[in-house]
Structure 1
Amino acid sequence: MMHQKILSGTPTALTGLDAHLRLDGLTKRYGDSLAVAALDLAVPKGELVALLGPSGCGKTTTLRMIAGLITPSDGRIVVGGNDITQMPVYKRDMGLVFQSYALFPHMTVAKNVAFGLEMRAVPKPEIEKRVKEALAMVRLEALAERKPRELSGGQQQRVALARALVIRPSILLLDEPLSNLDAKLRDEMRNEIRDIQQNLGITAVFVTHDQVEALSMCDKVVVMKGGKLEQVGTPVDVYEQPATPFVASFVGRTNRLDGVAKGDGTVFIGSAAVRVPGRPGGNVEIMVRPHRIRLSDGDGAAGEGLNRLDGRLTRVTFVGDLLQYHVDVGGMEMVVEAASDHGRGFRKVGAPVSLSWRIEDTMVFGRAA
């Protein structure tokens, strides 16, 4: 891994004149506050792209500007080569799925799905045909005459998706559509949305703060912080080769340790030394993901190509399929994750342990003195 990149933090943006959706310097200000700062992004036709980041990072504002619900302060939105920045929302060929679903409670499922077609004055026979197709796509044909209150959360989610897709939009926009569902249903709906998007070949932008959703569903992940782009890449790119410390810590779990690099591939963390990729120098921050660390008993030298730190076990947490071990290493806490084994494998709190991991699994970033 090239994390010796003591990285500058410059994001890798998707570019290209052939992009189906392109944002050029898209900016939104609210008074003196900059919600989105000169965002450049290109989304190829047929790709599902996630806007990922914490609350307040600008991802929903970006989505709403694309939809036409918020007017940009600067920049352009281009779809299929056409500048739609000033186009009203009802003229944009986009389907929207909101976090709240926004279904009409007095209408049946079929009427909810048909609403967008009726507003477009589509002939009634065509409406009936397309509504039936859309409900079949989300497996709700049998519930066409029910009201939203008679549906489960997952079924309401499917209605909202069918309503967005029935107009056959050029772009599908999804604003945290799974956040109101329980964990098991979120897993199911992730797969359903991805399958439908791929089968239709539709371009989609998905807003989420959930790293699992972004990594498991999307072709590209756009990580945002403070209204700015931190990194754009495939799920593997942003997880395995994060461009900044923020991306490394936000996309997946990680241990963060401050150290001093000697320029020969050695970093001192307190009195302990570890090896890192490349030859960084000066003050650095190293990161290691918990599941890449092996926990063992006793002392001994590190194996070939491995780093090793000794410490004392302070806490063990059982989280179903994982055991999380919290280890004090010279006054710093490190977390190790290991598969649970039918409730076995618990170690005694207070016991001395050793942590080891491959040198190439060490991420290195420069930091201020």
Structure 2
Amino acid sequence: MMHQKILSGTPTASTDSDVHLRLDGLTKRYGDSVAVAALDLAVPKGELVALLGPSGCGKTTTLRMVAGLITPSDGRIIVGGSDITTTPTYKRDMGLVFQSYALFPHMTVAKNVAFGLEMRSVPKHEIEKRVKEALAMVRLEALSERKPRELSGGQQQRVALARALVIRPSILLLDEPLSNLDAKLRDEMRTEIRDIQQSLGITAVFVTHDQVEALSMCDKVVVMKGGKLEQIGSPIDVYEAPATPFVASFVGRTNRLEGSANGDGTVIIGTAVLRVPGRPGGKVEILVRPHRIKLVDANASPEGSAERFNRLAGTLTRVTFVGDLLQYHVDVAGTEVIVEAASDHGRGFWKAGAPVALSWRVEDTMVFGRGA
């Protein structure tokens, strides 16, 4: 790995006294296949942490091992200083919210929420009080006597969240809870879950493949690939200073160009000379995010010095309207580069076929060794 960009202000590591949930070398094997490989993770009390990655990366397997639904092949799960690796699920003091909601169809909303308390033999008067509080928290007091089939998807998800929180768990586990909702509801539920988690100060682990959910909701993001940890950091860290090309491309959109670094802070791409942070050498990949690039007239003077701005010539091949954005597709010596800009009522100033130049700040350039 040769990423040269440095981001200041990275949070310091948590001390042992801060950590509420610790995964120590957590591993899951199925025969010769390794689903999760020696995962280490420390989650401070009150933090919301995202396990982010594509399907099959091991994030849900990790969550289910924490919940006690899957037995680890190796490693330890420690909560509040106690090793719970072999503790049965029902003794782990964890609230679970599943993608499928998993509500009992024959029970009312109130009964669904009360179920966990009844299984714990909580007194009836206490159950009634806590169910009422939980439903108020998710704004469903008026729907307490309805059945799940009489609710919208967003309302069902709120019931599932209330059911998980009513037992007052030590840790809240959420397994892609928003994936079945439409875009508007996802936005609303992201805000609601985060607000509730912060108001309660509860430690939570959130599994998702959606980068927007991870970046907008969580204190820390754990990026996984092929059962292995790629990077742990704050949302700003993993977006602005990705540790690998995979993290850069999965967490946000990127353009990728191949070139040869001279070891003096410059990279040759075709006939162009680009400046990059640091002094890499050899074959490299240059990554630049689409919204960090400015599209300019091919004949226009550079907007700044070559020490501060990179510039590439190309031909505009297509303009795509995507609502609040216009995507400009530019051919640069056979490689497509996408530039994103705010849309103007669906009208693009630039037309396909026009010679253009791409300009961006040197500091917005990410560089990795080829094959990193």
Question: What TM-score results when the alignment is normalised by the length of structure 1?
Answer: 0.96
Q: Note the residue ranges of structure 1 that are not aligned, 5 or more in a row.
A: 7-11
- What is the letter of the counterpart of residue 358 of structure 1? R
In the alignment, which residue of structure 1 is the partner of 2:94?
94
Alpha-carbon distance between aligned partners in 2 of 1:74 and 1:13, rounded to the nearest angstrom = 28
C-alpha RMSD over aligned residues: 1.6
Identical aligned residues as a percent: 85
In the alignment, which residue of structure 2 is the partner of 1:9?
none
The correspondence for 2:316, drawn from 287, 305, 313, is 313
The correspondence for 2:355, drawn from 347, 352, 356, is 352
Secondary structure of the 1:222 match is strand
In the alignment, which residue of structure 2 is the partner of 1:73?
73
In the alignment, which residue of structure 2 is the partner of 1:31?
31
In the alignment, which residue of structure 2 is the partner of 1:268?
268
Secondary structure of the 1:17 match is coil
Is the CA contact 2:264–2:279 (under 8 Å) kept in the aligned structure 1?
yes
Matched, 1:171 2:174: no
The correspondence for 1:363, drawn from 355, 362, 366, is 366
State the Cα deviation string for residues 3-24 of structure 1 (Å, max 9, x = none).
4269xxxxx9966422100000
State the Cα deviation string for residues 69-111 of structure 1 (Å, max 9, x = none).
0000000000000000000000010000000000000000000
State the Cα deviation string for residues 41-69 of structure 1 (Å, max 9, x = none).
00000000000000000000000000000
Trace 1:141-180 onto structure 2 (pairs within 5 A). 141-180=141-180
Report how far residue 315 of structure 1 moved: 0.9
State the Cα deviation string for residues 270-320 of structure 1 (Å, max 9, x = none).
222111111111111110000000001122553211100010011111000
Alpha-carbon distance between aligned partners in 1 of 2:5 and 2:330, rounded to the nearest angstrom = 28
Q: 1:346 to 1:5 in 2, by over 3 A?
A: closer
Q: 1:294 to 1:23 in 2, by over 3 A?
A: same
Q: 1:306 to 1:5 in 2, by over 3 A?
A: closer
In the alignment, which residue of structure 2 is the partner of 1:236?
236
- What is the letter of the counterpart of residue 16 of structure 2? L
Q: Note the residue ranges of structure 2 that are not aligned, 5 or more in a row.
A: none
Trace 1:108-147 onto structure 2 (pairs within 5 A). 108-147=108-147
Alpha-carbon distance between aligned partners in 1 of 2:314 and 2:300, rounded to the nearest angstrom = 13
Secondary structure of the 1:243 match is coil
Secondary structure of the 1:20 match is strand
Alpha-carbon distance between aligned partners in 1 of 2:148 and 2:366, rounded to the nearest angstrom = 48
Report how far residue 115 of structure 1 moved: 0.2
Alpha-carbon distance between aligned partners in 1 of 2:287 and 2:339, rounded to the nearest angstrom = 13
Report how far residue 217 of structure 1 moved: 0.1
Question: What TM-score results when the alignment is normalised by the length of structure 2?
Answer: 0.95
In the alignment, which residue of structure 2 is the partner of 1:290?
290
Secondary structure of the 2:231 match is strand
